[in-house]
């Protein structure tokens, strides 16, 4: 249930003074590769470099290109809607910070939408080099269609914060990053500074989502991965979660929830998911348990991770392997359908809600059940078994 039918989106951000389309140096994020065909994919992100010039704070209103349409739909649905029955997920009055949204194709975006649909206020942390394009796309209404919530209203993002989750404190940022054009104009984007800014702006949050990963050597087998590549994968994909909790938990209200995204390659061999990314996901899952204990005892905060199936995110599409991974899942998973980002988003909304008040330290699989399989049933050796197939 969204509380607003506002057709525009308000974004307050540390607006970079200038945008540079400087090249991304290294590939990054990786999720999976599987099946007999094997593969790997590296993705969109990069270890970037750069600096932060003095930014200026800006509040601006973005108006939908087609506001009338959305308002009309929202109002007509609202007027005919009945009180929800059963066990609705109600996050009204809760504030969420979602780290790792730079477009409308990934899991972070879908989670933001589900949380917004349940009534939560949405704050976003966007990787600094991607900030300008994300902001301008929002401003130009490029995401208006995908911002539409089930009741017809548009998801509002209250504020977008620049973030680079591989740096905890300003003094950790190397000179080449500090002077990189892609960081020019943004400031206060280390994890500690972002948490401080959120505290200053809003006081507290209730939900923290970590939806980011980066593995510069993801396309290399583990045996060929360099120490730097391995540590970079761990830093961006695992320690970033520890750091976010370390700095955000103190501003989280008791009873709050944190969620990260993991992948089955943490516990099963997925050829092609290299560069230490499988190790990074294993660390993330192990840390989920330890952090659940520590944050639970000290702050009454829950810590869970969603092990998601393959999604055609922007990075995945750019690399070109994702369709094969989706096909593999459809052929071999108990549920023969394509996984939608919304299914992961809705699970996150459940995990963030009081309905999941006793769930912490858990890995929740949202993958059509693929994790439960011990074999790939599309292998010819099973040809005579007459295994039922969805058409």
Give catalytic residue positions: 238, 281
* Residue number with CB closer to ligand NAD (70 or 189): 189
**Shorter beta-carbon distance to ligand NAD: residue 5 or 370:** 370
CB closer to ligand NAD out of 70 and 273: 273
Look at residues 29, 25, 23, 22 and name the one whose alpha carbon lies nearest to residue 44: 29
Kindly state the smallest distance separating residue 46's Cβ from ligand NAD, in Å: 8
Nearest CB to ligand NAD, comparing residues 117 and 236: 236
Q: How many CA atoms lie within 13 A of 322 on its CB side?
A: 20
Residue 298 CB, nearest distance to ligand NAD (Å)?
25
Residue 6 CB, nearest distance to ligand NAD (Å)? 25
For residue 388, the SS3 value is: coil
Contacts of 196 (CB under 8 A, 6+ apart): 188
> Distance between CA 356 and CA 306 in Å, rounded?
13
Nearer to ligand NAD, 74 or 343 (CB): 343
Could you give the CA distance from residue 377 to residue 331 in angstroms, rounded to a whole number?
A: 7
CA distance 346 to 113: 9
Q: How far apart are CA 133 and CA 203, in angstroms?
A: 28
The least distance separating ligand NAD from the CB of residue 81, rounded to whole angstroms, comes to: 31
Reduced to 3 states (helix: H, G, I; strand: E, B; else coil), residue 238 is: helix
Q: Beta strand 95-99 with 121-127: parallel, antiparallel or unpaired?
A: parallel
Which residue, 21 or 76, is less far from ligand NAD as judged by CB? 21
Q: What is the 3-state secondary structure (H, E, C) of 157-208?
A: EEEEEEECCCCCCHHHCCHHHHCCHHHCCCCCCCHHHHHHHHHHHHCCEEEE
d(CA 183, CA 187): 8
Least gap, CB of 194 to ligand NAD (angstroms): 10
At its nearest, how many Å lie between ligand NAD and the CB of residue 387? 25
Residue nearest ligand NAD, CB atom distance:
106
Whether the CB-CB separation of 57 and 135 falls below 8 Å is answered with no
Q: Is 12 helix (H, G, I), strand (E, B) or coil?
A: strand
Q: Closer to ligand NAD by CB, 70 or 107: give it.
A: 107
Interface residues with ligand NAD (CB under 6 A) are 29, 31-32, 44-45, 100-102, 105-108, 127, 130, 163-166, 211-214, 236, 261, 263, 308, 310-311, 313-316
Rounded Cα–Cα distance for residues 219 and 215 (Å): 9
How crowded is the C-beta side of 116, counted as CA atoms within 13 Å? Answer: 29
């Amino acid at each position: 249930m969204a509380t607003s039918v506002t057709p525009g989106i308000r974004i307050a951000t540390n607006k970079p003074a200038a945008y540079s389309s400087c090249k991304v140096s290294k590939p990054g994020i990786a999720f999976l590769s599987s099946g007999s065909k094997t593969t790997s994919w590296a993705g969109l992100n990069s270890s970037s470099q750069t600096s932060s010039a003095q930014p200026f704070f800006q509040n601006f209103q973005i108006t939908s290109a087609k506001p009338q349409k959305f308002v009309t739909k929202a109002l007509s649905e609202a007027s005919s809607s009945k009180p929800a029955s059963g066990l609705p997920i109600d996050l009204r009055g809760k504030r969420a910070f979602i780290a790792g949204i730079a477009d409308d194709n990934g899991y972070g975006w879908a989670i933001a939408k589900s949380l917004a649909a349940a009534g939560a206020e949405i704050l976003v942390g966007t990787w600094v080099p991607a900030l300008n394009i994300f902001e301008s796309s929002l401003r130009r209404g490029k995401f208006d269609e995908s911002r539409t919530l089930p009741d017809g209203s548009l998801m509002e993002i209250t504020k977008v914060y620049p973030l680079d989750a591989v740096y905890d404190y300003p003094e950790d940022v190397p000179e080449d990053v500090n002077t990189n054009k892609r960081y020019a104009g943004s400031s206060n984007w280390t994890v500690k500074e972002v948490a401080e800014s959120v505290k200053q702006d809003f006081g507290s949050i209730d939900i923290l989502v970590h939806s980011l990963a980066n593995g510069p050597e993801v396309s290399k087998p583990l045996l060929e991965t360099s120490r730097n590549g391995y540590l970079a994968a761990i830093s961006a994909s695992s320690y970033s979660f520890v750091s976010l909790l370390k700095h955000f938990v103190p501003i989280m209200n008791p009873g709050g929830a944190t969620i990260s995204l993991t992948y089955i390659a943490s516990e099963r061999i997925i050829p092609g998911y290299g560069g230490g990314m499988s190790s990074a996901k294993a660390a993330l899952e192990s840390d989920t348990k330890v952090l659940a204990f520590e944050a639970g005892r000290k702050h009454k905060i829950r810590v869970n991770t969603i092990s998601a199936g393959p999604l055609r995110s922007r990075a995945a599409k750019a690399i070109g392997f994702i369709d094969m991974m989706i096909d593999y899942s459809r052929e071999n998973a108990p549920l023969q359908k394509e996984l939608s980002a919304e299914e992961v988003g809705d699970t996150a909304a459940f995990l963030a809600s009081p309905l999941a008040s006793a769930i912490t330290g858990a890995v929740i699989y949202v993958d059509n059940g693929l994790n439960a399989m011990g074999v790939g049933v599309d292998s010819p050796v099973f040809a005579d078994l007459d295994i039922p197939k969805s058409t």
